[in-house]
Amino acid sequence: MKNSKIIGTGHYVPEQIVTNQDLEKIMDTTNEWIVERTGIQERRWFDPEKDTVANMATKASKKALKNAGLVAQDVDFIVFATITPDYFFPGSGVLLQRELGLQGIGALDIRNACSGFIYALSVADQFIKTGMYKTILVVGAEIQSSALDKSTEGRSSSVIFADGAGAAVLQATQEQKGILSTHLHADGDYAEELYVKDPGSSRKVRLSKELLDGATFNLTMNGNTVFKHAVVRFAEVIHEALAQNKMQKEDIDLLIPHQANLRISQFVQKQMNLPDEKVYNNIMHFGNTTAASIPIALSEACEKGKVKDNDLICLAAFGSGFTWASALIRW
């Protein structure tokens, strides 16, 4: 059986930098609170005149393809992770496909929030391992800032979430390396702990003035519950990946956790007893970009030379659903 290997990564973030000081001007918050509770110093918010989920994904994908030494026409299939698609339907996968000029190839959308990129990677990995496709573009892209309540009422979420896109090119290889395993989990009991309620389909009227007044289109999060579950599930799913591959935590060369909150990453780092240089964080500059956070971090880590041939890379995520997931990769 073939293996699948990441042969190129790329990312794109909107130009507009929003600092904590900028947020102090629009809501009752402080730089100190945000840095202490989340580690975030600044984040990127999209420009409605310029950025869409699909065109940010296109920019990230083009970089990933260039880094892989491929052209768009080499791609056989697209797996696109986002919970903030440009349209209610169809998903953004087909929009990315169109922007890349790849009409005809399949495009699958994944809606697993912060775990979305690992779910997408897992699906792509299975398609390659079974021989169905040779080269798959795996993307995570989000525009969260337009669903945030930027008043003081929404401050515990709106200081965290942000926008951006990341991509990876996955290709079949005969080498004994690449994606070693992926592990996917979910617990729908907690679906409403972190969600955007509308536009839901199970209502008599999908859109009404009352609904708009109720602000059910904004992101709602019970941060404390999410935090408590995250720190347990992150460690659990990393251990699961290591056990499956008969490896120890000391074997990990670089852990790239979903950038949920720097405190969560640091908690996991402590649980796993990993030194600073073995954990990659960039939430300080990009905030929490949901499905885009892991591919952005992976792409940046590659650019900085922190991912080397034969390194053991562990990706791990937790988020809305609840969903959680990990991937262990021999680079």
Binding site for ligand UT7 (CB under 6 A): 29, 33-34, 37-38, 114, 155-156, 159, 194, 223-224, 226-227, 230, 260-261, 264, 288, 319
Closer residue to ligand UT7 (CB): 106 or 223: 223
CB of 193 to ligand UT7, least distance (A): 9
Best CA proximity match to 255, nearest among 305, 303, 307: 307
Catalytic site residue from 114, 281, 282, 314: 114
- In sequence order, the β-bridge partners of residue 195 are 220
CB of 316 to ligand UT7, least distance (A): 12
Closer residue to ligand UT7 (CB): 33 or 331: 33
Catalytic-residue membership of 224: no
- In sequence order, the β-bridge partners of residue 9 are 168
Q: Rounded to whole angstroms, how far apart are CA atoms 125 and 77?
A: 12
Residue 186 in tokens: 């979910």
Question: Is the separation of the CB atoms in 111 and 79 below 8 Å?
Answer: no
Closer residue to ligand UT7 (CB): 29 or 216: 29
Q: Rounded to whole angstroms, how far apart are CA atoms 87 and 330?
A: 36
For residue 304, the SS3 value is coil
C-alpha distance from residue 198 to each of 83, 88, 195, 216, 217 (Å): 12, 11, 9, 6, 5
Phi/psi at 141 (5° precision): -150, 140
How many Å is the maximal CA-CA distance in the chain? 58
Catalytic-residue membership of 288: yes
Q: Which residue is nearest to ligand UT7 (CB)?
A: 223
Closer residue to ligand UT7 (CB): 30 or 208: 30
Catalytic site residue from 55, 67, 258, 281: 258
CB of 34 to ligand UT7, least distance (A): 6
Catalytic site residue from 67, 288, 302, 314: 288
Catalytic-residue membership of 11: no
CB of 14 to ligand UT7, least distance (A): 19
- Catalytic residues, by residue number, are 114, 258, 288
